[in-house]
Amino acid sequence: MVGTQSGPASIFGVIDFCVEPAHRGRGIATDVLERLSSLGRESGIEFLMLFAHDARLYERSGFSRRENPLRWCKINEHETLGIGEEPLE
Ligand SMILES: CC(C)(COP(=O)(O)OP(=O)(O)OC[C@H]1O[C@@H](n2cnc3c(N)ncnc32)[C@H](O)[C@@H]1OP(=O)(O)O)[C@@H](O)C(=O)NCCC(=O)NCCS
């Protein structure tokens, strides 16, 4: 779950999305992203959300950029560091 300005929402999470260098540029990530999107919709989540520094792959697949004030629990190496808060582009 994530909190949004409209209230709590269920999301579908994937982390560390990557394709082995020797197999990049053949549409593998695009295909996996489509399958994950379908799986998310079948699972009844409210929206698909992703974080990326480089948006090229995702904008090609129909994702669009949003700005949102973000608040999260900061954890590093199993240590809880408190609540982080900053606007996210
Ligand atoms: C990003 C990544 C998963 C793409 O995998 P892929 O199977 O080669 O992707 P596809 O063949 O489906 O699509 C290729 C397109 O991805 C985009 N792309 C390339 N590198 C990218 C990157 N680091 N981040 C986002 N998009 C990227 C480009 O638009 C590319 O199209 P182009 O070659 O015509 O410019 C792969 O390059 C990778 O594993 N990179 C290192 C890990 C990484 O940056 N993961 C993203 C974490 S948010």
Is 36 part of a structural domain of the chain?
yes
What is residue 79's predicted lDDT score, i.e. its pLDDT?
95
Cβ atoms of 57 and 14 within 8 Å: the answer is no
For ligand 1, atom 38: residue with the closest CA: 18
Residue 8 tokens, joined: 């709590």
Q: How far is CA 78 from CA 14, 48, 70, 73, in A?
A: 19, 27, 21, 12
What is residue 28's predicted lDDT score, i.e. its pLDDT?
97
For residue 48, how far is its CA from the centre of ligand 1 (angstroms)? 18
Is 83 part of a structural domain of the chain?
no
Is 77 part of a structural domain of the chain?
no
For the chain, the domain total comes to 1
What is residue 83's predicted lDDT score, i.e. its pLDDT?
93
Taking the chain (89 residues) in runs of 10, the rounded mean pLDDT of each run is 81 86 97 92 85 89 85 90 87
Is 75 part of a structural domain of the chain?
no
Provide the residue range defining the domain that includes 20. Answer: 2-64
The dihedral over CA atoms of 10, 11, 12, 17, expressed in degrees to the nearest 10, equals -160
Is 28 part of a structural domain of the chain?
yes
Is 72 part of a structural domain of the chain?
no
What is residue 87's predicted lDDT score, i.e. its pLDDT?
85
What is residue 31's predicted lDDT score, i.e. its pLDDT?
96
For residue 29, how far is its CA from the centre of ligand 1 (angstroms)? 7
Q: Return d(Cα 74, Cα 46) in angstroms, integer.
A: 24
The model's pTM is 0.81
The partner residues of 74 in beta bridges, in order of sequence, read 82
Pocket test for ligand 1, best of 57, 60, 63 (most atoms within 8 A of CB): 57
